[in-house]
């Protein structure tokens, strides 16, 4: 007769994994520990990323990714430890004898077991494998970010989700002066990768001028936690940096036809004047419908450019 405690433990594991599969509707389920080592594998691993399931237990999840995405995967695990869930992120996986294959990666902390995380992998449609991946690797310009964020906002509204716009201001000037441009560039690369891991729905990180960044975060993520994490990432590179952050509530503008233009106006103001200029209220508090155009197609800033009569629109 089996030990009752062993039976309970086994049933707990099985229930835990069933919950993870139901949550993810994934093609592949991996369980990893706090160090990112794989302990359990289920699903079509070979079909999705070209690897034999029997070769995965004991390996690091980061090692499976292409070199350029390994830091990103590590940050994904950090996010899971701090926020319990992490939504879709595009990761390239190395495939023996072939081109890297991108997949959608999601994760959640085990609801039953300590130091266990469920990582799910899903097929990335062919149509999304080129342009989407290229736009995610580096920060994108304001116009590109706003267009993508507007599309995601409409999708989020339909799904009754409430993403928020997080803005970060990171001063790399002292690091650049002390250690040179190359060192500052490497730190910035790591910081952007970290932000990518926290961006909602594998969306891009935007750049609004030197040291100023924007990203959409889901309603369950805390932008202040990411600010602390960015300081840790820089410190790991031997750099002490100041990280300022703020959040703009965009929930009441997600279905507005002018969302892209509203975001653009706010981000151009952020670019010109910094966090303080966009740190109060919601997106709608910063922009108002233009009276000179019909159909909500234009927006202008409530505030005027400093020292002029010109609007920010």
Residues 218, 22: Cα–Cα separation, whole Å: 21
Ranges of the chain whose pLDDT falls below 70: 1-2, 15-26, 96-97, 125-137, 201-202, 288-313
Pick the last residue of a domain from 95, 128, 161: 128
Task: Note the pLDDT of residue 306.
Answer: 41
Pick the last residue of a domain from 128, 151, 167: 128
pLDDT tens column, 40-91: 998 888 888 888 889 999 999 999 998 888 988 998 888 888 777 777 788 8
Q: Same structural domain for residues 107 and 146?
A: no
Q: Is the pTM here over 0.95, yes or no?
A: no
Asked if the structure places residue 76 within a domain, the reply is yes
Q: How far apart are the two ends of the chain, measured CA to CA in Å?
A: 75
Q: Same structural domain for residues 156 and 215?
A: yes
Q: Same structural domain for residues 30 and 83?
A: yes
Q: Same structural domain for residues 144 and 290?
A: yes
Structurally, how many domains does the chain consist of?
A: 2
Task: Note the pLDDT of residue 313.
Answer: 39
Asked if the structure places residue 242 within a domain, the reply is yes
Q: Same structural domain for residues 165 and 105?
A: no
Residues 239, 62: Cα–Cα separation, whole Å: 24
Asked if the structure places residue 306 within a domain, the reply is no
Task: Note the pLDDT of residue 57.
Answer: 94
Q: Same structural domain for residues 69 and 168?
A: no
Asked if the structure places residue 160 within a domain, the reply is yes
Task: Note the pLDDT of residue 127.
Answer: 40
Asked if the structure places residue 308 within a domain, the reply is no
Query: Of 157, 135, 130, nearest to 146 (Cα)?
Result: 135
Q: Same structural domain for residues 293 and 238?
A: yes
Q: What is the CATH number of the domain that holds 195?
A: 3.30.70.270
Q: Same structural domain for residues 185 and 62?
A: no
Helix (H/G/I), strand (E/B), else coil: 313: coil
Are the C-beta atoms of 237 and 186 separated by less than 8 Å? yes
Q: Same structural domain for residues 83 and 155?
A: no
Task: Note the pLDDT of residue 125.
Answer: 63
Max Cα-Cα span within the chain: 84
Helix (H/G/I), strand (E/B), else coil: 274: coil
Q: Same structural domain for residues 242 and 189?
A: yes
Q: Same structural domain for residues 291 and 172?
A: yes
Residue 154, domain extent: 138-301
Q: Same structural domain for residues 123 and 97?
A: yes
Task: Note the pLDDT of residue 137.
Answer: 66
Residues 263, 250: Cα–Cα separation, whole Å: 9
């Amino acid at each position: 007769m089996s030990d009752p405690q062993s039976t309970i433990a086994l049933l707990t594991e099985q229930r835990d994994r069933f919950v993870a599969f139901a949550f993810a509707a994934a093609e592949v389920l991996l369980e990893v520990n706090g160090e990112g080592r794989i302990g359990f594998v289920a699903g079509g691993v070979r079909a999705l990323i070209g690897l034999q399931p029997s070769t995965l237990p004991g390996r690091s999840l980061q090692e499976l990714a292409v070199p350029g995405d390994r830091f990103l995967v590590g940050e994904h695990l950090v996010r899971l430890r701090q926020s319990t869930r992490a939504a879709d992120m595009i990761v390239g996986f190395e495939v023996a004898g072939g081109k890297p294959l991108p997949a959608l990666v999601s994760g959640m902390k085990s609801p039953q077991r300590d130091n266990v995380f469920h990582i799910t992998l899903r097929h990335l449609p062919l149509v999304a494998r080129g342009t989407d991946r290229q736009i995610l690797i580096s920060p994108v310009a304001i116009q590109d970010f706003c267009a993508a964020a507007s599309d995601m906002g409409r999708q989020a509204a339909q799904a009754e989700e409430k993403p928020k716009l997080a803005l970060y201001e990171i001063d790399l000037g002292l690091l650049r002066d002390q250690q040179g441009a190359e060192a500052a560039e490497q730190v910035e690369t790591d910081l952007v990768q970290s932000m990518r891991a926290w961006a909602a729905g594998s969306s891009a990180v935007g750049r609004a001028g030197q040291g100023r960044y924007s990203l959409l975060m889901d309603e369950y993520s805390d932008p202040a936690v990411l600010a602390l994490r960015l300081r840790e990432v820089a410190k790991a590179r031997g750099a002490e940096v100041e990280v300022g952050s703020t959040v703009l509530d965009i929930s009441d503008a997600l279905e507005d036809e002018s969302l892209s233009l509203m975001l653009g106006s706010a981000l151009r103001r952020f670019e010109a004047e910094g966090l303080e200029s966009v740190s109060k209220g919601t997106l709608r508090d910063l922009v108002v419908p233009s009276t000179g155009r019909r159909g909500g197609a234009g927006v202008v800033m409530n505030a005027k450019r400093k020292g002029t009569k010109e609007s920010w629109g």
